[in-house]
């Protein structure tokens, strides 16, 4: 590829790893993908990572992507980071983290979230202000936890960043975020498009500690600093976009805009399970996160803590391959190994019921798939209802789901979602939609083009249509009954 061709880098900095996609900015062709792992530590609800490792992993992944793409470094023109949402990075006077980052799935902040939710007029007021009611995942609850449990670190903090903000600042030297990722903090007002001063006062946070909010994740915020250029092996002229959160970047990669309720609601199967749709309205419901999209429209989203990682844990415990599953039958598994966010059960543990002497271990694994898929699909029904649609109505039930994430590549996951949803599925042919969405943001920062239009032209969201199968009402109702009966115990 000649040096005059434009190559952009989209980075997906997730819970478990950094992935850097080298993409031809003209065609959207994925030229190469570099990867480097992240380490997550903690027990008893704690989940933490060292942000310095994120930076090292990003640099390693970018260098690998450029090398394996076989392109000269001079052909790289833009870069953008999409990061795991909600995490709290507390910076000291030297601009480096004071302690490991508190991650989105750290549930120690559940008491702080519950206390915050009762303030400022209660849950309905929070929804009106921020689009979301505080839960353990959100950054405001984590900051409150830090103030209460590690006041020495809170007092020493001179800057607060989300994971993608921190990496963007390391790249460009500019402290900036975007409306999409900022909307996951619970101190950004999706109604006003600005930080909410009442929330900041409530959690004792000086707004000077926060990054500026760029108009969109595609906004060009600068070019690589000399240190970043050296670490990545790229020219200093590379444009840096503001970037966004991982779910918002996946929406860009799918070509989702805010022109109305999405014809193809999205189900993402990863470490967490998420469901989302792009809208111009700002729907609000207690079990949903009323996020902004990276372009300032809206991305209402439901998130579960326990998805592929939890089911893989069951496979390991049973000594089975993850694909060696059978329908659960009488067995019901609620795989809430990390507590749960939707439904809001932060203290929950996993539950297995219906075992007999003759139970096939494959059925137990299949029931774990079913329990995780049920939780995600129930969140989808809540999302559709919040958008004013009846999930059971034929015209709504017939709409295909776009199934993305690592689980979408697994037969057991795909067939379980088909069986419990009764919907047709579209599984995009492109992998790494978060990184591809970030690449579209990077290309937009270079050219000024609309990133959703770019991704649509690239065709990254297209895929084969899998026809529906009859909905397994019996399994759905069995899981629903067990969850309803167990909830009082799971709340303890």
pLDDT of 263: 53
Beta-ladder partners of 21: 10, 33
Among the listed residues 12, 196, 246, 344, the single catalytic one is: 246
**Residue 211, domain member (yes or no):** yes
**Residue 109, domain member (yes or no):** yes
Distance CA 491, CA 223 (A): 48
List the structure tokens of 88: 């709290």
Distance CA 449, CA 457 (A): 12
**Residue 460, domain member (yes or no):** no
Active site residue 246: yes
Which structural domain, as residue segments, surrounds residue 236? 7-247
pLDDT of 489: 81
**Residue 252, domain member (yes or no):** no
Does the predicted TM-score (pTM) go above 0.85? yes
**Residue 153, domain member (yes or no):** yes
**Residue 267, domain member (yes or no):** no
List the structure tokens of 333: 């598994």
152 touches 190 (CB < 8 A): no
233 touches 226 (CB < 8 A): no
**Residue 459, domain member (yes or no):** no
Along the 492 residues of the chain, how does pLDDT read in single tens digits? 444 689 999 999 999 999 999 999 999 999 999 999 999 999 989 999 999 999 999 999 999 999 999 999 999 999 999 999 999 999 999 999 999 999 999 999 999 999 999 999 999 999 999 999 999 999 999 999 999 999 999 999 999 999 999 999 999 999 999 999 999 999 999 989 999 999 999 999 999 999 999 999 999 999 999 999 999 999 999 999 999 999 999 999 998 875 444 557 899 998 889 999 888 877 777 778 889 999 878 888 888 999 999 999 999 999 999 999 999 999 999 999 989 988 888 889 999 999 999 999 999 999 999 999 999 999 999 888 888 888 888 888 888 899 998 899 999 999 999 999 999 999 999 889 999 999 999 999 999 999 999 999 999 989 989 999 999 999 999 999 999 999 888 766
204 touches 147 (CB < 8 A): yes
pLDDT of 491: 63
Distance CA 53, CA 50 (A): 5
Say whether the peptide bond before residue 386 is cis (omega within 30 degrees of 0).
Answer: no
List the structure tokens of 415: 């067939």
**Residue 281, domain member (yes or no):** no
Backbone angles phi, psi at 483, to 5 degrees: -60, -45
Select from 401, 413, 378 the least CA-distant residue to 307.
Answer: 413
467 touches 424 (CB < 8 A): yes
Provide the pairing of β-strand 239-241 with 220-223. antiparallel
Residues in the chain, total: 492
Extended beta strands in 305-400, E state: 332-334, 351-353
Give the CATH number of the domain where residue 13 resides: 3.30.420.40
Select from 422, 427, 423 the least CA-distant residue to 410.
Answer: 427
266 touches 249 (CB < 8 A): no
DSSP three-state, residue 4:
coil
Distance CA 144, CA 263 (A): 39
The gap from C-alpha 47 to its chain's centroid, in whole angstroms, comes to 16
pLDDT of 443: 98
Neighbours of 368 (CB within 10 A): 32
Number of structural domains the chain divides into: 1
Q: What is the largest CA-CA distance in the chain?
A: 67
List the structure tokens of 81: 């980071």
Backbone angles phi, psi at 94, to 5 degrees: -85, 5
């Amino acid at each position: 590829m000649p040096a005059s061709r434009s190559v952009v880098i989209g980075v997906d900095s997730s819970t478990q790893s950094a992935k850097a996609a080298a993409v031809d900015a003209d065609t959207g062709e994925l030229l190469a993908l570099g990867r480097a792992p992240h380490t997550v530590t903690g027990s008893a609800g704690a989940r933490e990572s060292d942000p310095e490792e994120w930076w090292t992993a990003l640099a390693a992944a970018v260098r690998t992507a450029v090398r394996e793409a076989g392109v000269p470094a001079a052909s790289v023109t833009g870069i953008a980071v999409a990061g795991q949402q909600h995490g709290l990075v507390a910076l000291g006077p030297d601009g480096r983290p004071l302690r490991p980052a508190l991650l989105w799935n750290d549930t120690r902040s559940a008491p702080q979230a519950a206390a915050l939710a009762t303030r400022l007029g209660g849950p309905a007021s929070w929804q009106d202000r921020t689009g979301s009611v505080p839960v353990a995942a959100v950054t405001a609850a984590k900051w409150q936890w830090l103030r209460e449990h590690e006041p020495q670190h809170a007092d020493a903090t001179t800057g607060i960043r989300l994971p993608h903000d921190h990496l963007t600042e390391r790249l460009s030297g500019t402290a900036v975020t975007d409306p999409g990722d900022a909307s996951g903090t619970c101190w950004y007002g999706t109604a006003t498009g600005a930080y909410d001063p009442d929330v900041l006062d409530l959690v004792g946070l000086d707004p000077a500690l926060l990054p500026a909010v760029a108009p969109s994740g595609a906004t060009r915020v600068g070019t690589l600093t000399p240190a970043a250029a050296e670490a990545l092996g790229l020219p200093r002229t590379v444009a840096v976009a503001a970037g966004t959160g991982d779910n918002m970047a996946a929406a860009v990669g799918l070509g989702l805009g805010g022109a109305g309720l999405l014809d193809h609601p999205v189900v993402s199967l990863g470490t967490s399970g998420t469901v989302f749709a792009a809208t111009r309205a700002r729907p609000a419901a207690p079990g949903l996160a009323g996020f902004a999209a990276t372009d300032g429209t809206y991305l209402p989203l439901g998130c579960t803590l326990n998805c592929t990682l939890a089911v893989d844990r069951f496979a390991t415990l049973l000594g089975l391959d993850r694909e060696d599953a059978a329908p659960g039958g009488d067995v019901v598994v609620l795989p809430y190994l990390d507590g749960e966010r939707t439904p809001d059960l932060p203290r929950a543990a996993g539950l297995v019921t219906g075992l007999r002497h003759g139970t096939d271990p494959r059925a137990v694994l299949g029931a774990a798939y079913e329990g995780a898929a049920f939780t995600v699909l129930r969140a989808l029904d809540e999302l559709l209802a919040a958008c004013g649609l009846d999930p059971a109505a034929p015209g709504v039930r017939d709409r295909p789901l776009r199934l993305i994430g690592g689980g979408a590549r697994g037969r057991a996951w795909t067939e379980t979602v088909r069986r419990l949803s009764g919907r047709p599925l579209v599984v995009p042919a492109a992998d790494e939609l978060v990184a591809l969405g970030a690449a579209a943001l990077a290309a937009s920062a270079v050219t000024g083009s609309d990133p959703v239009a770019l991704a649509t032209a690239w065709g990254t969201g297209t895929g084969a249509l899998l026809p529906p199968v009859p909905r397994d009402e019996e399994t759905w109702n069995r899981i629903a009954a067990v969850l309803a009966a167990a909830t009082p115990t799971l709340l303890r």
